[in-house]
Structure 1
Amino acid sequence: MKILALDTTSGACSVALYCDGQTSEQFVRAERDHTRRLLPMVDRVLADAGLKLAQLDALAVSRGPGSFTGLRIAISCTQGLAFAADKPVVPVSSLAAMAAGARKLHPSWEGAPIVAMLDARMQQVYWGVYGADTPSDSLLPEAVQNPEQVVEKLRDSGLPQSIYGAGPGWHYFQEGEAPSETAAAVVKERDLEVPIRARDIAELALPLWQSGATVAAEALEPLYLRNEVTWQKRQKIRSQ
């Protein structure tokens, strides 16, 4: 089984290859350099493995949520590669990938749910909750909300008391921010530095591919969650 995964969701650019049980990755933090870096990284990962695009079984990509521009770069690149090689695409949640990465970084978190969170700007966050048994699917619907709403939803969720937080969206809950005292009541520990990585997208894509959760390249669409903002940006782009 061979899956090539791409991600430019946030401040990093990464490409990974899952090949018969082994995962290799190119990862670099590049806030505004994704477009120039991405395809050379794809070439390098494939060359290192001695593979050509046609030998892949599928491609995988972060479907979002995340940066509007970042999502479009990775998705457009994935579409082009998938068209060229006539391969299916596995869309993977960026929040699920972040939670999977956090679980690797923190073995002590074991099987507890992880609340992955990205900064959605405008004093809001993208968030979801991921368990060890179903790492690709959020235990609560992925959403964009303000921090106070997140705390309220977690308190009413019936999730176990020991849950953990991952991702830069948790900065709203740092000391001095409005909901900081309530964050401690719903999560046991937080790691704000966990990145979204293509290696986690590739590994999450494997069971999704096996279950048939793929799309054709032309059907691949990002998931923004904040649809009204996305619509305004699309309208602005089309009018230029």
Structure 2
Amino acid sequence: MKLLALDTSSEGCSAALLINGSLTERFALAPRGHTRLLMPMIRELLAEQGLAPAELDALAFARGPGSFTGLRIATGVVQGLAWGLEVPVVPVSSLAAVALSAMETLNVAEGDGLAIAFDARMGEVYWGCFQASEGLPRLLVPEQVCAPASVSLPSVITGSWYGAGQGWQLQDQMPQALVATMSRLDDTLVPRASHVARLASHELAAGGGVSAAEAQPVYVRDEVTWKKLPGR
């Protein structure tokens, strides 16, 4: 299996290539550099492995939630490649990608809970709750966008809870009883293509994947309030 995965859903920009279990990645923190960096990353990864795009078996991308502009960049690149190559695409939750990263960096045990938060701007966070299950994060309730003061945890977890994602930098606005529940926190983690690739490989093995036309971003927030600048 030769899988190319992309992520531009946050200030991080990354591409990863998973070939028969071997993973290579390019990653950079570049809030306004996604368009400039992504294609060179893809070309470098393919050249490093001596692969032509036509040899890829599947594509994956972080489908959100996250930066609206960033999500459109990765979606556009993946759709363009998938149309030409006629390969399946696996859209992967950006929150799940960070949950998988947190499972490794925070030493999360089987059955423990992961509360993932991204800063959604406009006084809100993207919020997702997962359970560590057989080495993967399993979504417990639908992902949502809400005020930090409105976040909550499902009651199904009997083990420990761990928090991750840059939305936890707003923890002073969250219910303090919920914050106190967390065994450990990492408010620096952002989605990475390497974790997108690993989640996508499991999805493909289970028969997942969609066509280029069906590879769409998931914004979670249905409405966006635009504030016009004076004179605009």
TM-score (norm 2): 0.91
Equivalence for 1:102: 102
- Given residue 83 of structure 1, which amino acid in structure 2 is its aligned partner? W
Cα distance, 1:137 vs structure 2: 3.8
Q: Distance in 1 between matches of 2:52 and 2:5?
A: 14
Whether contact under 8 Å (1:15, 1:199) holds in the other structure is: yes
1:219 aligned to 2:218? no
Gaps of 5+ in 1: none
Q: For residues 102-121 of structure 1, what are the structure 2 equivalents within 5 Å?
A: 102-107=102-107, 109-111=108-110, 112-121=112-121
Cα distance, 1:90 vs structure 2: 0.4
Over aligned residues, Cα RMSD in angstroms? 1.8
Cα distance, 1:161 vs structure 2: 4.8
After superposition, the C-alpha distances for 1:31-83 in whole angstroms (9 at most, x for unaligned) are 10100111110010111111111111100001100000000001101111111
Q: More strand per residue: 1 or 2?
A: 2
Cα distance, 1:188 vs structure 2: 1.7
After superposition, the C-alpha distances for 1:86-135 in whole angstroms (9 at most, x for unaligned) are 1110000000000111112222x222221111011122111112222163
Gaps of 5+ in 2: none
After superposition, the C-alpha distances for 1:139-176 in whole angstroms (9 at most, x for unaligned) are 111111112221xx31x533225110000001111xxx
Whether contact under 8 Å (2:117, 2:167) holds in the other structure is: yes
Identity rate, percent: 45
- Given residue 64 of structure 1, which amino acid in structure 2 is its aligned partner? G
Q: For residues 1-240 of structure 1, what are the structure 2 equivalents within 5 Å?
A: 1-107=1-107, 109-111=108-110, 112-133=112-133, 135=136, 137-150=138-151, 153-154=152-153, 157-173=155-171, 177-179=172-174, 181-229=176-224
1:60 match: secondary structure:
strand
- Given residue 116 of structure 1, which amino acid in structure 2 is its aligned partner? I
Whether contact under 8 Å (2:113, 2:159) holds in the other structure is: no
How many residue pairs align between the two structures? Answer: 225
- Given residue 162 of structure 1, which amino acid in structure 2 is its aligned partner? S
- Given residue 110 of structure 1, which amino acid in structure 2 is its aligned partner? A
Cα distance, 1:200 vs structure 2: 0.2
